Structure 1
Amino acid sequence: MFLSIRAEASESGDRSPWGNFWFEPVPARVGGPITSESALQLTAVYACVRVLAEGVSTLPFMLYREGEDGAKERMRDHGLYRLFARRPNKFQNPMEFREMMQGHLALRGNAYAHIVTSRRGDVTDLIPMHPDRTTIEMLSDTNWRFRYRQLDGTELVLTRGEVFHLRGLSGDGVCGYSPIQCARKALSAGIAAQDYGMRFFLNDARPPGWIEYPGQFKDDEQRRLFRDRYQEQQSGMNRHKVAIFDLGMKFHEVKVSNDDAQFIETRKFSISEIARLFRVPPHMIGDLERATFSNIEQQALEYVTNTLRPWLVRWEEAIRYTFLEEDTDLNVEFPVTALLRGDAQARSTYYHNGILDGWMTRNEARVMESLNPLDGLDEPLRPLNMVEESEAEDLPDQTGQQPNEPPATEPPDQVKPDPDARLVALSTATAARVTRKEITSLQRLVGEGWQEKVAAFYDKHAAFVAAALNVPREWADNYCAAQLRYMVDNNPEFSELEALTASRLERLALWGKV
């Protein structure tokens, strides 16, 4: 049975006692054992694992405190941020750690890290544990522990709270399925096709032929001797030399090509199978056979939403479950907007639309581009006329109509009102709106260092007053100066200031209308 192994398993095929056949490893047959390491022989598997690992590891890690209104306050002085964004352990940086963990997760369906704590209970390091040397021992239906075989041969027994465990699709909720083992037959076929191609081209890209001899060899020994001498003259350094036959011999080449054996099609199908296994777009692993300019962009979007996002959510949920309390207001996230880092046009469009639509401030865009914030760029713009929202609430539109004010209509068959009376009413209404806005803004500014804040407010408020009341800027500057002097002298009294503000603004508005 042992001697029935095919000679093609060895490059030489020499089974003599001095041949290399007996010292070479027995190749795996189709359907045989396939491990995670042996699967990496296929470039498509390596490329898929690399795409997933690099996609997860290159995204920034964000730890934030979530407010009741949904606001996110970033936390950079927390121990969890240090672990995943700065130094997970003493021999790896964050990218290397996450890249290795995601590689384990994609290949084996599980990734483990030993949680090392200080005497006070603070997590100081995350030490990776190789999945091939980690086993799960069930203690009950809902409890288990981990056994890790270290390189020195000793075994480390760890409880659930001492291991950061990332698991993929699981059948029992404890251990994830290994994609390689689930698809071992498909991968075995791919490896077999790859090995066949290697042997095919090692044989000078030619299938074997046969020699026609019109006579007859005396015995098997003479036939073997002729074959060995011919192979010796046409192999190694003698390859491609002209062969000379005598005694009426003829060489016949076997007409079997790669196309006849469907070799190329088999290799292409193997790539598609592996891309489907890891749900990676084929163009990301170098398969551009069916790629076009239009569908590559769509596939890139699907990679983020359908391929990368589930892995990121798996990471985020595992971190929350392992390191954060149930009732905490802290949360973690891997922002995918960092994927636009290499696309200047996409980033520009993203910022442009966000700023013009009012859901992003100019300083937020500057921070995302690693630029320092600038004073005065923290307020969103109003989409209509690109002024800051606080200054646009009460601006009249192009027809002179105030916002949220019903259009003035003249009832039929009635006497038109006095134009002067309408002018006074319009000026008074405008002054009242500006007054309410000014008092509300001042009330928010009162506190420590309020005088500098109020002075800066009135410097900007003068332009708004001039535009709202349609008066010269000099008048508006004088008004704001008088308001500021009153604030400083009275330290401030808003009840009296509101009445004084309304009176001054009404006079200012009437002066501008007359």
Structure 2
Amino acid sequence: MAIYGGTIGSLPWILYKRIDEKNKVRWVDHPLYNCLHNQANSEMTSLVWREISMNHLLLLGNAYSQIIRNAKGQTRELWPLDPTLIEIKRDENGKIYYELRVSAGKNETFPAENILHIPGLGYDGRRGYSVLALAREGLGLGLSMETFQARFYGKGTNLGGVLEHPGKLGDIAHEHLKKSIKEEFAGINKSHGVFIAEEGMKYIKLGMPLQDAQFLGSRLFQILEFCRWFNLSAYKLKDYSNATFSNIEHLAIEFVQDSIRPWAVRLEQHVNWKCLKDDERKSLFNELLLDGLLRGDVESRNKALAVQRQNGVISANDWRAIENKNPLEGPAGDAIWQPLNMIDANAPPEEKPSEDKVEEEPEEKKLISFESRASRAIKSRRRMAEAFKPLYRNMEKEILKKERAGILKIVKKTLTQRDADDFIFAIDEFYEKFRKFIHNQFAGINSEYGNAIYPIAAEEVNADVEQTAEFAVYLNEFADHSTNRYVESSRGQLKQVVLKHRENDPAEAVEKRLDEWDERRPDKVAGREVVDLESGIAQFVYYGAGFRTVWVTFGKSCPYCMSLNGRTVSQGMNFLNAGQAFEPDGAVNGPLVVTQNISHPAAHSGCDCSVSAG
């Protein structure tokens, strides 16, 4: 009883509301939600009520609970009733009602709608069979064996025979012999001693030892009998004789599917029927969540979740919720991935190459194959970059929301007196504290983006798609780089604005700049980050596989990027060096002043170039 009651009692029992054909939400506002999930009534938790109900069901075949409703007719409490005191009857109109024997000669009646009656396996759909009655002989044998075993070891006088005296013992001698045997051999601690016979007495063995009587075998058989009556595997009653390390997990899954699930469905359907009003059943339903019991071992569970993650079934936050972890900050945790090597089944097939095409030489074919693979990889990475742009935009909006609040607070405190120096000092302090939040935002979405880009780049150069510890370090360092760039840009712009307008109205100028950030910065940050990190991750994979990095233009390119197209660098080298004034032919806007080393795209704001392996 404890197995079923404890298992059913520990499951999350949720009340849902259907939003449409595909979506649902937890309907916590309905009192039945609290009744099923937390507290069944003012004196019992939901777990206790479920344990009582399951014990009544399993032993007596029926579970009854009185339904208490609020003024709206919604179920708010469930009180268990003793099945042995209830009779099911019909009135003169054929309607079912329940009669509860309260005391001798006094009964109380309840209409059917006020009783949650859950019958077990039965014969008429109204009453369930009592397992105690059906299994009386088998269960009685088990109880008799318990009693026999207790008395056998309790007495402990297992001589298993009689003493034969050649003469006749008097009453005193008989009592003396009986007393001496009891003192020497009674009890577990004195068993298996040596008896010394006197006066020609002989010991004659009677009966059979416990082992010869197959007592232990009978005990094991009784365990199986109990399991059959209650549809359990023997290992649930601690009989591991047929359980192995390799099959114990599957036995546990079998327990959920064959033993727990039928009872769970029975409970769900009767609660839907009796505890929800007719109009409520159109949109509300309850469910006992069995997923936690089917989790399996850590490795198997993670492999299954990884397949769902990679095929767009769940997000990172969905995964974390299953593992009982808090969601990631920012929008990255809700990103849904999709495989880029799949197409719509209704899409037309790709055109096959012409059969009369001249076959290239092996080395030439090899080069073309590599270039083709590189081209596909760049396109795949760029599609992934476009998919992540909205996530970076949302991330930047979250940053700007907190950033604006913090800056305006400083403006109110310092610039009402037009104290530019105090403002500059205050924003330095603000950004040092705000830096951690920005880093966490970048780190969260960069991790998701990195996990998507890495296997594409690895496939391009036939590298291992399994990510290394060094890659995790690289992503964290990249988040530091993005954070530093963001902080320096924000701090630099604000200082410049205040110093420029310190004699006029610096507060208004700062607010105007914040408005400009809200309008333009999400797109700028998103465009820069997806290009920068995509190229950086690809380069990380290339160098790890022993390749060099080739600059590749993509889309409409400016003169600066066109002049970099095709350039190749090795690990430790840069395409452009900090302090360099880069002015290629056709650069009508003058030289591009490089403020930091450029080892991969983006070279400037708005750059959409990429890289390939060389």
Q: TM-score, normalised by structure 2?
A: 0.54
Counterpart of 1:263 in structure 2: which amino acid? F
**Equivalent in 199, 211, 231 of residue 163 of structure 2:** 211
Q: Matched residues in 1 for 2:38 and 2:323: separation?
A: 20
Does residue 380 (structure 1) correspond to residue 380 (structure 2)? The answer is no
How far 1:260 moved relative to its partner? Answer: 2.3
Structure 2 unaligned blocks of 5 or more: 358-378, 395-400, 402-516, 535-551, 559-605
Q: Percent identity?
A: 26
SS in 1 for 2:337: coil
Contact in 2 for aligned 1:462/1:473 (Cα 8 Å): no
**Equivalent in 104, 115, 118 of residue 163 of structure 1:** 115
Does residue 65 (structure 1) correspond to residue 25 (structure 2)? The answer is no
Within 5 Å, which residues of 2 pair with 1:37-436?
A: 49-139=1-91, 143-150=95-102, 155-204=107-156, 206=158, 208-216=160-168, 229-235=176-182, 239=186, 240=190, 246-254=198-206, 256-326=208-278, 328-339=282-293, 343-374=297-328, 375=330, 376-384=332-340, 406-407=350-351, 409=353
Q: 1:260-306 CA distances to partner (integer Å, 9 max, x unpaired)?
A: 22211111100011111111111121001111122222211111111
Q: 1:213-238 CA distances to partner (integer Å, 9 max, x unpaired)?
A: 22356xxxx67x76555434433687
| Residue 114 to residue 230, structure 1, CA distance change in 2 (3 Å) | farther
Q: Matched residues in 2 for 1:404 and 1:293: separation?
A: 50
Counterpart of 1:168 in structure 2: which amino acid? G
Q: Matched residues in 2 for 1:296 and 1:346: separation?
A: 14
Instruction: Report how many aligned residue pairs link the two structures.
Output: 388
Contact in 2 for aligned 1:86/1:94 (Cα 8 Å): yes
Partner of 2:440: none
Q: 1:466-495 CA distances to partner (integer Å, 9 max, x unpaired)?
A: 99x9538997xxxxxxxxxxxxxxxxxxxx
| Mean Cα deviation higher: 183-192 or 137-146 | 137-146
Counterpart of 2:320 in structure 1: which amino acid? R
Q: Matched residues in 2 for 1:166 and 1:236: separation?
A: 57
Counterpart of 2:254 in structure 1: which amino acid? E
Contact in 1 for aligned 2:65/2:79 (Cα 8 Å): yes
How far 1:202 moved relative to its partner? Answer: 2.2
| Residue 393 to residue 254, structure 1, CA distance change in 2 (3 Å) | closer
Counterpart of 1:323 in structure 2: which amino acid? C
Q: Matched residues in 1 for 2:183 and 2:53: separation?
A: 45
Q: CA RMSD in A?
A: 4.3
SS in 2 for 1:65: strand
How far 1:319 moved relative to its partner? Answer: 1.0
How far 1:341 moved relative to its partner? Answer: 6.8
Counterpart of 2:350 in structure 1: which amino acid? P
Partner of 1:28: none
How far 1:123 moved relative to its partner? Answer: 2.6
| Residue 344 to residue 115, structure 1, CA distance change in 2 (3 Å) | same
Q: 1:336-355 CA distances to partner (integer Å, 9 max, x unpaired)?
A: 12226795444433432221
Within 5 Å, which residues of 2 pair with 1:464-483?
A: 471=554
| Residue 189 to residue 511, structure 1, CA distance change in 2 (3 Å) | closer
Q: Matched residues in 1 for 2:556 and 2:45: separation?
A: 58
Structure 1 unaligned blocks of 5 or more: 1-48, 386-391, 395-402, 414-429, 476-507
SS in 2 for 1:294: coil
Contact in 1 for aligned 2:65/2:117 (Cα 8 Å): yes
| Residue 140 to residue 263, structure 1, CA distance change in 2 (3 Å) | farther
Q: Matched residues in 2 for 1:138 and 1:101: separation?
A: 24
Contact in 2 for aligned 1:194/1:267 (Cα 8 Å): no
Higher RCO (CA-CA < 8 Å; seq separation 6+): 1
Q: Matched residues in 2 for 1:209 and 1:343: separation?
A: 55
Partner of 2:429: none
Contact in 1 for aligned 2:88/2:98 (Cα 8 Å): yes
SS in 1 for 2:41: coil
Contact in 1 for aligned 2:118/2:270 (Cα 8 Å): yes
| Residue 473 to residue 211, structure 1, CA distance change in 2 (3 Å) | farther
How far 1:456 moved relative to its partner? Answer: 4.4
| Mean Cα deviation higher: 304-313 or 133-142 | 133-142
Contact in 2 for aligned 1:471/1:509 (Cα 8 Å): no
SS in 2 for 1:293: coil
Counterpart of 1:299 in structure 2: which amino acid? L
Q: Matched residues in 2 for 1:163 and 1:232: separation?
A: 64
How far 1:88 moved relative to its partner? Answer: 0.9
